Structure 1
Amino acid sequence: MVRLEIVEADATQFDVDVLAMKYAQAWHGLDASVWERLVEVGHRKDDFSPLPGEYRILDAASSLAAKKLLFVGTEPLWKLGYLEIRVLARTMLSALTESSPNSRTVAVTLHGVNYGLDEGESFQSMIAGFMDAVESGDVSNSLHTIIIVELNRGRVGRLRALLGELVPGGILDGGRSFIDKVSQERLRAAGYASASKSHVFVAMPFSDDFEDVYHYAIHAAVNKVGLLCERVDVTAFTGDIVQRIQERIRSAALLIADLTTANPNEPVEKPLLKRERMRARRANDRGAGGIRVNKRRTVTICADSSDTSVTRR
């Protein structure tokens, strides 16, 4: 049996046997911070830059609280969806068993939310991956606790609540004896069924000022009707990840853009305008109204409950 815990902490300063991270063929977030510290003490990039499907484990730098670091190679960030998160979680535990079988504790962070994926779906996919590893016997008998480390206090609360629904008591075992049938079905489908779910794309800053608006006014309502809610602060990304964002905008069932504090930037504005002009032309063909964008670029995106079209006023 393996216990799951969610802790509010800085992963670089959390005392644990192994800190497990992804390496998406470039440095992002936590792994970028760890990379800088390893370089400072003389490590070469090849020491901890595994190709997809491979892994590297090494002793941590003195400035990190973990005893060892595990890097699992994945495809580039823009290719990582919910199923890939499930596979990553399982691979982390199997790699840990091979490389450090006596480890009792491993810390991970939630993947996906900082580059646009739905928080709850990402979390379920990760937990499902851990369950896959436990059920298949890819987990060492020594492993006692998987700790999900998170800095955002609000997210810690939401993930703890979701964990309580999925895995009451926070215990994983091969027979799923601690998990009810409804949760078993949710975990069985996590990642695999995600691609078939429609999604809403939300473009708004990652700022404390927007947290309540997003999580309580938008995300909860979107999930309640069975849609995924994907959000990104596009100012934080360039290159391939922006292409992924644009694709998710084009394929979204609904677009929501909060432009309270600034004009929209180009990665969001171009595909959003292109798509809505197309929608407006279709609406005009049916005798409905068109699009108006005022000079201040204040945007409201709304959906008519009797129509799937999106309009902009």
Structure 2
Amino acid sequence: MTNNASGAMNLGFVVEVVEGDALAFETDVLVVKHAPTTSGLGAVMRKYLTEDAAMLPGASEYRVWPGTRNTRAEYILMVGAPPAWSMRYPQLRDLARRMLDALWEQGLDVRHMTTTVHGIQTAAGLDEVEAFRALLLGMADAYETGHYPPTLERITFIEHDTNRVRLFQQTLTQFLPTPPPPTVDKIDTATMAVMAGKQSFEPAYRKPEADDATPHVFVAMPFADAYEDHYYLAIQPAVRETGLLCERMDLDTFTGDIMDHMLERIRTARLVIAVLDGANPNVYLEVGYAWGVQTPTVLIAHEEQGLPFDVRGHRVLMYDRIYRLKQMLQAELATLLS
């Protein structure tokens, strides 16, 4: 329980994860980020809000617009951020704190805030669960300082991908075990919890967010919908069972600073898991670099996938079903990381 800077008392926020379209979701304020060369919801909203680049917020700024006919929000809050590829977990925590701080500073009378899970599907290559936890910790920071709208009751994270909705809903209740009171209206597709500062978190999840030194596994795989089940149903859960972060970069091409960042994450990884299906040239580039810097690799391929001569002499986990792939990875990781 905290006293907001306005003197109002707040018992916490209801936090929920909902599957849907953020533009079609009715809310008091839709919060997006603006980062140079960013894609996703922020890029979509830029087109709707202004054609004048000078009107967009800088990395430490924010701007508020009235809702547009393209959304069902009364207000749009755009918070400036550094380039997406450079955003790590501490920057995500700060971003979430600044979202609530901006609403408080503007004095907006809002009860319901909607946003997305930032930092995923970008060149940053972040672990999705840890990115979500960092955002929640940032909101808890704002709660503890009283820098949030005194009327705020509900924060909704909108996600359109079913696999990620399932992931975030599961981890939300792990992080925040207190359910909302029965009087709270619930959306059928939502999973809900109550947050009132860091003490609302399960003790294991109150620790500081990850940083670049936190042990991680780097996943090299084709950036295509056909491989999403490989990642969410086999690779990611097998890695997270070990306690390591699971990071992948969701891009087709890598250049400049993004390439340097990718190579650094491969060099510092405990190991690299590479999906060789489809003979993707980026994947082979990443595997070759991992071999060059002596980062251990786990190579996987479907049993019907032909392998080029330069990997035939290496151990490759050949799978036929995704559930068997998960079992194979669990056994392999247990051996390599023991």
Q: Following TM superposition, by how much is the alpha carbon of 1:270 offset from its aligned partner in structure 2, in angstroms?
A: 3.9
RMSD: 2.6
| Structure 2 SS opposite 1:67 | strand
| Structure 1 SS opposite 2:15 | strand
Structure 1: 5+ residue runs without aligned partners? 281-292, 309-313
1:17 aligns with 2:28: yes
Distance 1:186 1:304 in 2: 24
Q: Following TM superposition, by how much is the alpha carbon of 1:246 offset from its aligned partner in structure 2, in angstroms?
A: 2.3
Distance 2:254 2:110 in 1: 35
Q: Following TM superposition, by how much is the alpha carbon of 1:86 offset from its aligned partner in structure 2, in angstroms?
A: 0.7
Distance 1:294 1:155 in 2: 33
Distance 1:229 1:20 in 2: 27
The residue number in structure 1 matching 2:262 is: 245
Q: Structure 1 residues 237, 121: CA separation in 2 closer, same or farther (over 3 Å shift)?
A: same
Distance 1:279 1:110 in 2: 34
Q: Structure 1 residues 174, 296: CA separation in 2 closer, same or farther (over 3 Å shift)?
A: closer
Distance 1:100 1:215 in 2: 40
| TM-superposition CA deviations, 1:246-279 (whole Å, max 9, x none) | 22122211111213123322xx544531330343
Match of 2:41 among 30, 33, 44: 30
The residue number in structure 2 matching 1:284 is: none
Q: Once the two structures are aligned, what percentage of the paired residues are identical?
A: 36
Q: TM-score, normalised by structure 1?
A: 0.82
| TM-superposition CA deviations, 1:161-195 (whole Å, max 9, x none) | 1111111211122483xx36xx2441332x2x433
The residue number in structure 2 matching 1:45 is: 53
Q: Following TM superposition, by how much is the alpha carbon of 1:88 offset from its aligned partner in structure 2, in angstroms?
A: 0.6
Match of 1:274 among 269, 289, 292: 289
1:256–1:301 CA contact under 8 A, matched in 2:
no
Q: Structure 1 residues 236, 31: CA separation in 2 closer, same or farther (over 3 Å shift)?
A: farther
Moved more, 271-280 or 250-259: 271-280
Match of 2:62 among 55, 58, 69: 55
The residue number in structure 2 matching 1:285 is: none
Q: Structure 1 residues 163, 175: CA separation in 2 closer, same or farther (over 3 Å shift)?
A: closer
The residue number in structure 1 matching 2:239 is: 222
Match of 2:80 among 73, 89, 98: 73
Q: TM-score, normalised by structure 2?
A: 0.76
Distance 1:71 1:301 in 2: 46
Letter in 2 for 1:113: I
The residue number in structure 1 matching 2:118 is: 111
Q: Following TM superposition, by how much is the alpha carbon of 1:304 offset from its aligned partner in structure 2, in angstroms?
A: 8.4
Moved more, 64-73 or 295-304: 295-304
Match of 1:264 among 267, 277, 281: 281
Q: Following TM superposition, by how much is the alpha carbon of 1:143 offset from its aligned partner in structure 2, in angstroms?
A: 0.5
The residue number in structure 2 matching 1:210 is: 227
Distance 1:28 1:53 in 2: 19
Distance 2:28 2:62 in 1: 17
Q: Following TM superposition, by how much is the alpha carbon of 1:136 offset from its aligned partner in structure 2, in angstroms?
A: 1.2
1:7–1:156 CA contact under 8 A, matched in 2:
yes
The residue number in structure 1 matching 2:16 is: 5
| Structure 1 SS opposite 2:27 | coil
Structure 2: 5+ residue runs without aligned partners? 1-11, 180-192, 296-306, 318-331
2:263–2:289 CA contact under 8 A, matched in 1:
no
1:166 aligns with 2:183: no
Distance 1:69 1:8 in 2: 20
Distance 2:68 2:286 in 1: 44
Match of 1:126 among 113, 118, 135: 135
| TM-superposition CA deviations, 1:27-60 (whole Å, max 9, x none) | 3111111112224xxx52222x211211111113
Q: Structure 1 residues 22, 187: CA separation in 2 closer, same or farther (over 3 Å shift)?
A: farther
